[in-house]
Chains A and B, each alone.
Chain A
Amino acid sequence: MAETKWTKKDLLSMEDLSVDEINLILDTAEEFKKVNERNVKKVPALRGRTVVNFFVEPSTRTRASFELAEQRLSADIINMSASTSSLTKGETLLDTGKNIEALQVDLIVMRHSAAGAQQFLAKNLRCGIINAGDGAHSHPTQALLDIFTIREKKKKIKGLKVSIIGDILHSRVARSNIIGLLKLGAKVTIAGPPTLLPKEFEKIGVKLCDNLVDAISDADVINLLRIQHERQRAAYFPSISEYASIYGINADTIKYVKKDALIMHPGPINRGVEIDTAIADGDQSVILEQVTNGLAVRMAVLYLVAGCLG
């Protein structure tokens, strides 16, 4: 394979990445995973670099994962949230970004509730931007850690059947996974209440399925999404309990799942809703390994992006 060089100052979405770039991140993450398994887990790769974790939309796990990744790379870090920034005082996002940049910051890791916010800022700032989730649009490091986990377990991506189940309409995790997996040659099915399955995805080669059994029967990977009550403004399905009974993975439906299929979830999980406890904690679940791999993937992304900053 030809040597791929990372040339982007930002990581904004899976749409922007070539297959080679995705593989470069995954390969780099493998190296960082080894670092994380050592007794001494810190490397000097980002020593002297300053990273701002700018979380305009609240986050716990992604933010913790990024913070730890930055610390393990020896970066100096500052954490800002919407409430600690001047956005609450009426400052525009662009002005906040320019103020952060004026502090000679190298990288901004950013989450925002509005789709495209990071892309907008990246276009207008010199410092690097890593997208930690923008609205329903993109969450590239989540997709990369999911793909990393699949590749580690299945030794390939091409040709695998991956079913993503749940609220696809409002999910940046789904969008990023779909695009990344399709680029790498997987066959992607989305399933869930039909009101939450954008039929437009058929145009890029995604199979839509409103029947859970059909979606899981021959899947190599089943990625379950959290049903997000907080984003449900209108009625897309009758109730959480009906969702659990029709689209949940439980003792009844696990029978249809292949024995070697991986069960994934980006977290936080709703036990008893999209997944039953026994299955979440069972042999086929790789949910906690995803968390472990997320750290390595984020270290890889930080390392690569920092490498092409001035």
Chain B
Amino acid sequence: MKKGCSYILEKGRVIDPQKGIDQVLDIGIEDGIFVEPGKVKKPVRINLKGFIAAPGFIDMHVHLRQPGGTDKETIKTGTMAAAAGGFTSIVAMPNTSPAADTPGAIEYLKAHAETSGCVNVLPAGCITKNYEGVEMSGIGGLKKAGIVALTDDGNCVYNNELMEHVLVYSKTFRLPVLDHCQDAFLSEGGLVHDGFWGAVKGLRGIPSASESIMVARDIILAEVANWKVHIQHVSATGSVELIRNARKKGIQVSAEVTPHHIALTDECIKNFDTNFKMNPPLRGEDDRKKLIEGLQDGTISVIATDHAPHTITDKMVEFAYAPFGVIGLETAVSVCLTELYHTGYLDLRDVVSKFTSGPAEVLGIDAGTIELGKKADVTVLNPDFKYTIDKEKFYSKSRNTPFNGKKVKGRAVATIVSGKFVFSLIDGISGII
């Protein structure tokens, strides 16, 4: 990347959960890296009084759809959406077409991210070839190509023996395994949560047990392999309890939750609106409360969006025929500040940790903290910024949000990647996008 300007971010409340910092401090940035504020030459001074300056936010669950689905999203539009949502780094899911299961596919992603991406794109590789759950992909080669994690996201690795081998093998390469937990039989044909609204609306359910069974399986195998398994988009009460107990025992299991599972319940499907159709499905109010509890006690250390763009044509169909998935990059921070911070469930430091130190630790990457000499990625928040979410203002190519029209409080007002403002709502500072 080109050299950026030099900045001093002044008078902001700096929250860096990994370092245990929560105080008003100045941050110096020169040549794209963090430096002592006193040593910055010819800085542009930016007053962040009243704002939060946090390490750059990481979304470890994003579908960029390139290659193969560029009518839904591209690396360019997806990273713009990330920047507008406050994310400086995103992990790209490998279920593209063709799938990211070869070093060549990872090179393709990195090359395009370099030329057309405006935030850091961290590649994930498939656990199995074409994420079919049959044959292990070339994990060592993928690691050399630069992946940060393995996942067959969209599919679960149903074969227990294969999953065990994957966990044992991936430990050699220090690659965490991210699993989309669902049982093949229990989830087959399911459209919504197997609960009240599914029963009343005659929509086939995906039971909570479908997720929890595989969470239990993954925990057992993580213990056997003594390696890291990460449960993607946890949705059910039982899963939270299993993960909590396993973490107490010291098993290397971590978990993420999406903003939509925190904010919404299965009641949202009562009008058959496909913008509330996602997998795992929105579950009951008890589950929603349990997920928040999991965030509070640290069982769930990551918030990730599962940003899953689909075209209007894809979604404007019968509920049963619509693809699963909603977008989230441009709403996540606002929704979480509204639903977790302003409700009093979490303090700001905890909210920030779920987007920074939490995912950085799972991925084992050098990010999520403000460190002198390291890449200057910063997310600036205004926790009291009130607005109404308007999907027509999104940078994403898609509009399939469950939050259109929602009144929120709090948002990312600037996104700085390697010392450059890629997005800014701050007076006098313009972002790249």
What is the total number of residues of chain A having a CB less than 8 Å from a CB of chain B?
28
Compute how far the CA of A195 lies from the CA of B195 in the bound complex, rounded to whole angstroms: 14
Q: Which residue of the partner chain, among A120, A170, A175, contacts B319 with CB atoms under 8 Å?
A: A120
Contact B203 A115 (CB under 8 A): yes
Q: What chain A residues lie within 8 Å of B317 (beta carbons)?
A: 92-94, 120
Contact A114 B318 (CB under 8 A): yes
Contact A200 B201 (CB under 8 A): no
Contact B200 A115 (CB under 8 A): no
Contact B196 A135 (CB under 8 A): no
Asked if B271 is an interface residue, CB under 8 A from chain A, the answer is yes
Q: What chain B residues lie within 8 Å of A112 (beta carbons)?
A: 318
Contact B196 A203 (CB under 8 A): yes
What is the total number of residues of chain B having a CB less than 8 Å from a CB of chain A?
21
Q: What chain A residues lie within 8 Å of B199 (beta carbons)?
A: 198, 200-201
Asked if B250 is an interface residue, CB under 8 A from chain A, the answer is no
Asked if B405 is an interface residue, CB under 8 A from chain A, the answer is no
Q: What chain B residues lie within 8 Å of A198 (beta carbons)?
A: 199
Contact B316 A114 (CB under 8 A): no
Contact A120 B272 (CB under 8 A): yes
Compute how far the CA of A54 lies from the CA of B200 in the bound complex, rounded to whole angstroms: 25
Asked if A233 is an interface residue, CB under 8 A from chain B, the answer is yes
Compute how far the CA of A59 lies from the CA of B292 in the bound complex, rounded to whole angstroms: 47
Contact B202 A175 (CB under 8 A): yes
Q: Which residue of the partner chain, among B185, B204, B313, B318, contacts A116 with CB atoms under 8 Å?
A: B318
Contact B200 A200 (CB under 8 A): yes
Contact B202 A115 (CB under 8 A): yes
Asked if A284 is an interface residue, CB under 8 A from chain B, the answer is no
Q: Mark A134-157, 1 if CB is under 8 A from B, else 0.
A: 111110000000000000000000
Look across to chain A and name the residue whose beta carbon is closest to the beta carbon of B269: A116
Asked if A2 is an interface residue, CB under 8 A from chain B, the answer is no
Contact B316 A200 (CB under 8 A): no
Asked if A172 is an interface residue, CB under 8 A from chain B, the answer is yes
B190 to chain A, nearest CB (A): 11
A175 to chain B, nearest CB (A): 6
A204 to chain B, nearest CB (A): 7
Q: What chain B residues lie within 8 Å of A116 (beta carbons)?
A: 201, 203, 271-272, 318-319
Contact B196 A200 (CB under 8 A): yes
Asked if B173 is an interface residue, CB under 8 A from chain A, the answer is no
Asked if A302 is an interface residue, CB under 8 A from chain B, the answer is no
Asked if A277 is an interface residue, CB under 8 A from chain B, the answer is no
Q: A135 and B320 in contact (CB under 8 A), knowing A116-B272, A233-B189?
A: yes
Contact B318 A120 (CB under 8 A): yes
Q: What chain A residues lie within 8 Å of B202 (beta carbons)?
A: 115, 134-138, 170, 172, 175
Q: Which residue of the partner chain, among A114, A119, A134, contacts B271 with CB atoms under 8 Å?
A: A119
B404 to chain A, nearest CB (A): 15
Compute how far the CA of A281 lies from the CA of B317 in the bound complex, rounded to whole angstroms: 43
Compute how far the CA of A138 lies from the CA of B319 in the bound complex, rounded to whole angstroms: 14
Contact A137 B318 (CB under 8 A): no
Compute how far the CA of A116 lies from the CA of B202 in the bound complex, rounded to whole angstroms: 9
Asked if B321 is an interface residue, CB under 8 A from chain A, the answer is yes
B residues with CB within 8 A of A? 185, 188-189, 195-196, 198-204, 271-272, 313, 316-321
Known: A116-B271, A204-B200, A234-B185. 20 other contacts (CB 8 A): A92-B313, A93-B317, A114-B318, A114-B319, A115-B202, A115-B203, A115-B319, A115-B320, A116-B201, A116-B272, A120-B317, A134-B202, A200-B195, A200-B196, A200-B198, A200-B199, A200-B200, A201-B199, A201-B200, A233-B189
Q: Which 3 A-B pairs have the closest CB atoms?
A: A116-B272, A136-B202, A137-B202
